[in-house]
Amino acid sequence: MDGNGRWAKARHLPRAAGHKRGAEAVRATVRAAAELGLEALTLYAFSSENWRRPEDEIIDLKGLLRHYVTNEIDELDRNGVRLKIIGDYTRFGSELVTMLEKAIVRTADNQRMTLVIALNYGAQDEIVRAVRKLLQDGVSAEAIDAAAIESQLDTNDLPPLDLLIRTSGERRLSNFLLWQAAYAELLFVDTLWPDFGAPELTDALADFNRRERRYGGL
């Protein structure tokens, strides 16, 4: 979800205003994803590299996350959306961790759609953790294959990744779902994240449906 800062700068607003508008885009996109019948939607909310940002911006992002969970959990639960977190979210402090874990437990049995929020997440770290876990469990190096690694990834209970969308015109993955994106379709759009919503998601799915996926075959 890229472009909050540029959206705010173009309007001579503080970056916090861009993040607030970005949270509104999250709400609209999650609602649209459920209505369109998506099985899972993963949002890259905070990367393991985002801790390098100014402290006041990190505080604003934490506040928005707290606000989103507090205000959206009833609707998510009512609409059958399961909440899942990937990444080491324990770094966000006990109050926010408790709030997230209560939301996870509350929505655990919902089956309409899974909303995955990546917090303090980095794909390279995820892969390293998966391999270390296998070795710690006594799995021999010769027995470690793709299936074994996938079983230890944060996304092990999710369907295969079909489509990865990056907003704001950037053309890189920025350490997001690197393993899972091996055969996913990639879509880079110029729309800044605060302007993303149901129409843009619908267009992205239409683009995806026009593609021919061969997975290395003919």
H/E segment holding residue 82: strand 81-86
Distance CA 20, CA 15 (A): 9
pTM recorded for the entire structure: 0.94
The per-residue b/e assignment along 6-30, b for 16 or more CB within 10 angstroms, e otherwise, is: bbbeeeeeebbbbbbbbbebbeebb
Strands 185-188 and 163-166: parallel
pLDDT of residue 145: 97
Q: Name residue, tokens 């209560």.
A: 102
Q: Name residue, tokens 């690197």.
A: 178
SS3 call for 73 = helix
160 lies in some domain = yes
211 lies in some domain = no
Distance CA 79, CA 59 (A): 30
Report the domain count for the chain.
Answer: 1
Per-residue CA distances from 124 to 35, 113, 138 (Å): 32, 26, 22
pLDDT of residue 217: 73
Structural domain of 142? 4-206
127 lies in some domain = yes
pLDDT in tens, the chain (218 residues): 999 999 999 999 999 899 999 999 999 999 999 999 999 999 999 999 999 989 988 988 888 898 899 999 999 999 999 999 999 999 998 999 999 999 999 999 999 999 999 999 999 999 999 999 999 999 999 999 999 999 999 999 999 999 999 999 999 999 999 999 999 999 999 999 999 999 999 999 999 999 998 877 76
118 lies in some domain = yes
214 lies in some domain = no
69 lies in some domain = yes
212 lies in some domain = no
113 lies in some domain = yes
Residues carrying an active site annotation: 2, 50
Phi–psi pair at 119, nearest 5 degrees: -125, 130
pLDDT of residue 216: 77
pLDDT of residue 218: 66
SS3 call for 126 = helix
pLDDT of residue 81: 98
Are 156 and 150 in contact by the 8 Å Cβ rule? The answer is yes
The tokens describing 18, both together, are 């861009």
Per-residue CA distances from 101 to 34, 80, 182, 184 (Å): 22, 17, 30, 29
16-22 CB contacts, 8 Å cutoff, 24+ apart: 16/57, 16/60, 18/194, 19/57, 19/60, 19/61, 19/64, 20/64, 21/194, 22/64, 22/193, 22/194
Give the CATH number, domain containing residue 9.
3.40.1180.10
pLDDT digits (tens, 9 = 90+) for 104-151: 999 999 999 999 999 999 999 999 999 999 999 999 999 999 999 999
